[in-house]
Structures are given as C-alpha cells and as structure tokens.
Structure 1
C-alpha cells in the first residue's frame, strides 16, 4: 500500500512540475489574482488522477488483494476469539451452572 501511495505521489509531483512550467511559460493561463498556486495544484490533481488510474492499475489491484487478505485475517481472529469466549459459557449453561 505504501508503494502505491508513493507512486501516486510521484505522478502528482511530475504533473505539478509540468503544469507549473506550462503556466509560467504562458502556455496555460494563470489563475485569477493570487490564486495561481491553487490553480496549479488543482490542475495538477485533475491531470494526475486519470493518469494514476490507468498507469497504476496493477499496483492498485495488488494493494487491494493485500487489504482483503488482512481484513479476512482480522475477521477470522475475531471469530476465533468470540468462539473461545462462548465455549465455556455455553458449557456452563448446558450443565445448569450459573455463569
């Protein structure tokens, strides 16, 4: 997951440099008044999102598999703990003893 995040940040940083260069060379219009930095950041974000979606597809799928495996492991551990706690209580109830 960290690898995917770093790769996504790298694509954003690359887009930021390209957009910044285009804005300051006059190819892309500047923002209104003092909003130039915000304009460059927003434009970089809009451009980097679809690039990341296409380029990082395999890495995103790998991260997704890791997350699903981790969630499944946690669910299995919770279920095992729950059944461990319930077994003595169920046994005591079946024998008619107060818990």
Structure 2
C-alpha cells in the first residue's frame, strides 16, 4: 500500500470516527431530552444533520495535520505524473521531427 493511500485512509477513518462520535453524542442527548427531537419520524435525519454540523468544524480543526499530509502526498503524486507526461511528450516530439 502506498503512502498516499495510507494517508487518505487514515484521514478518512479519523473523519468518520469523529462523525460517529458526534452522532452517538447527539443521539444520546436527544434520547435524554437535552436536545429536541425532530418532527414526527424525522428524528434520525435530525440527529444525522446535527452530527454533520458538529463534526465538520471539529474535523477541520482536529485533523489539520492529517489533511496537510494527505494533501502533500497528493501534490507530490500529481507533480510526478506531470513530469512523466512532459517527458513522454518531449520523447514523442523528438520522434516526430
């Protein structure tokens, strides 16, 4: 497994863990009555939306290092791909002349 995919997997796993933690916390607070329940049968949707709303800024702040590492590895991979394409293009240009 390449370093890029492991950084992406690590970031995604941590982001999902933060969401699940927020989902469980919001669900628990709704069940004990600390937060209002959704209208009718919308309780699950309410809990999911609230968990998303809370987990997004938490992920942004808490996962900065992982996001930067993943971004750096993606940029490196893109730069290598661009260099390889440029090398192929220059080889083709030389063969055509």
TM-score, normalising length from structure 1? 0.89
TM-score, normalising length from structure 2? 0.90
RCO comparison, higher one (Cα < 8 Å, 6+): 2
Please tell me the root mean square deviation across aligned C-alpha atoms, in Å: 0.6
Q: Residue 29 of structure 2 aligns with which residue? A: 22
Which runs of structure 1 show a deviation greater than 2 angstroms over 4 or more consecutive aligned residues?
none
Residue deviations 1:31-68, cap 9 Å, x none?
01111100000000000001001110111110110010
Q: Paired residue for 2:13, among 6, 15, 24?
A: 6
Q: How many residues align?
A: 90
* Runs of 5+ unmatched residues, structure 2: 1-7
Q: Which has the larger radius of gyration?
A: 1
* Runs of 5+ unmatched residues, structure 1: 91-99
